[in-house]
Structure 1
Amino acid sequence: MSAVRAQLGAAVHEGRPLSPTGVQERIFARLFTGLVYAQIWEDPEADMRALGIAEGEALVCIASGGCNVMSYLTRRPGEIAAADLSPAHVALLRLKLAAARHLPDHDTFFAMFGHADRASSVAAYDIHLAPHLDTATRAFWEDRGLTGTRRIEMVARGLYRHGALGRFLGILGAVARFCGADLRELADAPTLGDQKGFFDSRIAPIYDNRAIRWLARRPVMLFGLGIPPAQQRKLAADADGDIVAVLRERTRKLACDFPAAENYFLQQACHRRYRGRSGRAVPPYLDPRAFDAVRAGAAHVDVQNRSLTDLLAARPAASVDCATLLDAQDWMSDGQLADLWRELSRTARPGARVLFRTGGTPDILPGRVPPEILGRWRYDGRASALALAEDRSAIYGGVHLYRFEG
């Protein structure tokens, strides 16, 4: 655990330890040793279309809450290697993989990660999953902590109400109700016009509240979204330093640009649960039509509690077809970026693709990754813009796709 905390610190620490920024960064790093995301906030459908994942390809990615890895299995890749510095995220993805392989059917699988609030899921864990988990993962889910109940009870009490993000969304909903906006009404809106009307009349005015604006500018308030201080500065740069304006626009996109019934990110933001069972109402891996592919592919996923750079360094040359980096590069120093892209270039097969997100709009790589490394890749501006437009999570300023040219 101490090695993992050191890596987390290296990823987010920029300020001096006793400076305000340094204290905030250390609070954030501590937070990330626990569960942050039970569901991640990057749209895997947008990712898969941009990357053009083909059957049999080799993928590497950051695990986070695991929705991306599990959803990529619907494209039947040959292998996926996933890394994450959070032991909790590693344990969650390993639980999802074991569930896909060993639960008896899709109904039981969906009960655990779709409904995520069924008491029967705890018994399913004990009978079908616990015997197949590695020691560390089983210890994580069976730890009783301060509450006296095992951590696996999350899947019986509403998995998506837990973790830093789940708690943050609960607070956000309470604040919205206090300000006169019940977000559940937005999630139930029948048309895009109704969604826009709700945003204009009930949500937008919240951002004009002086107390809300003051809170939104406090870096610690956005830690629940998994946004460290350095990334918050990149967000604010999109509106000349006014992070409130950026948050208002990102909220507008989430609320107004996609039909509520088909946007499971909006459903999570408003209800902290899914409100459908198939198609675009849930992440692709929970669609019953994809269950056979997910079950078959789960055996070909390797999850490691380490940095993605370290994972790549252990791989042979020319062994990767696709990589997804989420927004992790927003946290990195120039040296860390160079190390990562050096390994991406070494392990890339001809035609390999790399996709990542940024809190701000601009691509952060030019001028920071040495040209002799970045020059081996071509930026696909058209695919990047399309992926951003299609990303229903609406939280990021940029989605960026690079193609390896050797």
Structure 2
Amino acid sequence: MTDLAPDAGFRGNEKLKDALLQHAPLSAAGLSERLFGLLFSGLVYAQIWEDPDVDMQAMDLAEGARIVTIGSGGCNMLAYLSRRPASIDVVDLNPNHVALNRLKLAAFRHLPNHASVRRLLGEQSVATNARMYDSHIAPNLDVATRRYWETRGVSGRRRISVFNRNIYRTGLLGRFITIGHLIARSHGVRLEELAETRSLREQRMFFDSRIAPLFDKPLIRWLTRRKSSLFGLGIPPQQYDELASLADDGTIAPVLRHRLEKLCCHFLLRDNYFAWQAFMRRYPKPDEGILPTYLHERHYPAIRQSVDRVTVHHANFTELLGKKPAGSVDRYVLLDAQDWMTEQQLNALWTEITRTAADGARVIFRTAAEESILTDKLAPALLGQWNYQAERSQALNRQDRSAIYGGFHIYEKRGE
């Protein structure tokens, strides 16, 4: 298990700095990158914002697969365990995400039953969660992860106490969503009232009458012209530029409006826990809708029995693959990380992916813009060894309930 320094900030996190910093410190772009890095050095995502059900379809994920994935909030790797893969290597540059992934794995391994896992990871205002952590999880954590969750903040409370309240309202994204609710409320709109809708038609009416007009408000148009205003979404400067390329008026408000429309209107609310987190800032109760796949009771036995097949690394993707033998990986999950990369970093990554890919290996990833980032940046000698599943990529992108990204992409290794 890779060493973890959970309290390492951006200044001391060389892995994160290497991934983010592409411009001189005193340039406008360099200052923007460093501001984002400071914000991104804390907990960003308590929940992943890519749909794991779409991932598993795209990968044709079956028992015995060997997977390498970026960790983020950890929901994806836990969902993948429901298919009983042979192994999952989880990598993340953010030590807070490493600590969260290890905690979630320990919860499945050491809490007494599914109900206790659901209370810890799927419900809010459960005052006994920290005590449950003390009794069942803490004695089984590695030293660094336990120190992370038991560190006290300025309030005097331990980090783990957030599970007594609602961890999904914390982190960079959770706080950004809270600010979004406050801005909407200042314009007379209570986003949580979406929960009162009972059909796609009512969801559409709510969006058209309450949410869509917000994007014409001067404050929101002013905010969406500024890269830093969207750092709370976990959107780095490079990704903002990709989004801005889709708009004509110097603001990404139209792009955000379109994606929020998909989140609000394209899926029944009871079937979309991403919408519950965005609009109600919690998961639905049993009579309101479904929970993430990894919290479904029917998957609990498979996940619990498979958690020992996961290793969580504080490392970048290329670094980890460089230590693996040729032909040793079946599935790669890159999330949106390539949007951050320079052409040199992208080609270094795909050199290792191509070397370590087993016959029929698949790579899946998302992009802020609609087109695959590989088309113009990956060396032809590398790109030529992979088949792009364009039609299936587009079909599955339409099914992605998180609705955040412009593109979803599947590449399959060509046979010898």
TM-score, normalised with respect to structure 1: 0.97
| Distance of 1:263 and 1:179 partners within structure 2 | 26
Of 259, 266, 277, 1:257 maps to 266
Specify the alignment match of 2:386 in structure 1. Answer: 377
| Distance of 1:26 and 1:133 partners within structure 2 | 32
Of 43, 51, 57, 2:51 maps to 43
* Alignment check: 8 A CA contact 1:4 1:306 kept: no
Q: Does 2:101 match 1:96?
A: no
**Secondary structure of 2:82's partner?**
helix
Q: Does 2:367 match 1:358?
A: yes
Which amino acid is the alignment partner of residue 150 of structure 2? E
Specify the alignment match of 1:138 in structure 2. Answer: 146
* Alignment check: 8 A CA contact 1:236 1:360 kept: no
| Distance of 2:237 and 2:167 partners within structure 1 | 27
| Distance of 2:79 and 2:195 partners within structure 1 | 23
Cα offset, 1:280, TM superposition: 6.9
Specify the alignment match of 1:68 in structure 2. Answer: 76
* Alignment check: 8 A CA contact 1:5 1:29 kept: no
Specify the alignment match of 2:130 in structure 1. Answer: 122
Cα offset, 1:278, TM superposition: 9.4
- Structure 2 residue runs of 5 or longer lacking an equivalent are 1-7
Specify the alignment match of 1:283 in structure 2. Answer: 292
Cα offset, 1:13, TM superposition: 1.8
Specify the alignment match of 2:341 in structure 1. Answer: 332
- Per mean C-alpha deviation after superposition, the further-off stretch among 288-297 and 15-24 is 15-24
Of 339, 357, 360, 1:348 maps to 357
- Alpha-carbon displacement from aligned partner over 1:274-315 (angstroms, at most 9, x marks no partner): 013499721110011110011011110000001011111111
Specify the alignment match of 1:314 in structure 2. Answer: 323
**Secondary structure of 1:94's partner?**
helix
- Per mean C-alpha deviation after superposition, the further-off stretch among 120-129 and 177-186 is 177-186
- Per mean C-alpha deviation after superposition, the further-off stretch among 324-333 and 274-283 is 274-283
Cα offset, 1:339, TM superposition: 0.8
- Alpha-carbon displacement from aligned partner over 1:130-168 (angstroms, at most 9, x marks no partner): 111011101110010222110000100111111011111
Specify the alignment match of 1:271 in structure 2. Answer: 280
| Distance of 2:295 and 2:310 partners within structure 1 | 17
Q: Does 2:124 match 1:113?
A: no
**Secondary structure of 2:374's partner?**
coil
Which amino acid is the alignment partner of residue 389 of structure 1? R
Specify the alignment match of 1:172 in structure 2. Answer: 180
Specify the alignment match of 1:237 in structure 2. Answer: 245
| Distance of 2:261 and 2:174 partners within structure 1 | 20
Q: Does 2:238 match 1:227?
A: no
* Alignment check: 8 A CA contact 1:43 1:392 kept: yes
Of 157, 167, 182, 1:159 maps to 167
| Distance of 1:288 and 1:279 partners within structure 2 | 16
**Secondary structure of 2:360's partner?**
strand
| Distance of 2:126 and 2:170 partners within structure 1 | 15
Cα offset, 1:116, TM superposition: 4.1
* Alignment check: 8 A CA contact 1:188 1:261 kept: no
Cα offset, 1:188, TM superposition: 3.0
* Alignment check: 8 A CA contact 1:216 1:222 kept: yes
Displacement over 6 Å in runs of 4+: none
| Distance of 2:371 and 2:87 partners within structure 1 | 31
| Distance of 1:38 and 1:30 partners within structure 2 | 18
**Secondary structure of 2:38's partner?**
helix
Q: 1:293-304 alignment to 2 at 5 Å?
A: 293-304=302-313
Of 200, 205, 212, 1:204 maps to 212
Of 380, 393, 396, 1:387 maps to 396
**Secondary structure of 1:295's partner?**
helix
| Distance of 1:71 and 1:220 partners within structure 2 | 32
**Secondary structure of 1:75's partner?**
coil
The CA RMSD measured in Å over matched residues stands at: 1.5
* Alignment check: 8 A CA contact 2:221 2:251 kept: no
**Secondary structure of 1:352's partner?**
strand
- Alpha-carbon displacement from aligned partner over 1:344-397 (angstroms, at most 9, x marks no partner): 111111000000000111111123111111111110001110121000111100
Of 246, 262, 271, 2:255 maps to 246
- Per mean C-alpha deviation after superposition, the further-off stretch among 12-21 and 362-371 is 12-21
Specify the alignment match of 1:30 in structure 2. Answer: 38
Specify the alignment match of 2:5 in structure 1. Answer: none
Specify the alignment match of 2:4 in structure 1. Answer: none
| Distance of 1:258 and 1:174 partners within structure 2 | 25
* Alignment check: 8 A CA contact 1:277 1:287 kept: no
* Alignment check: 8 A CA contact 1:363 1:398 kept: yes
Q: Does 2:192 match 1:184?
A: yes
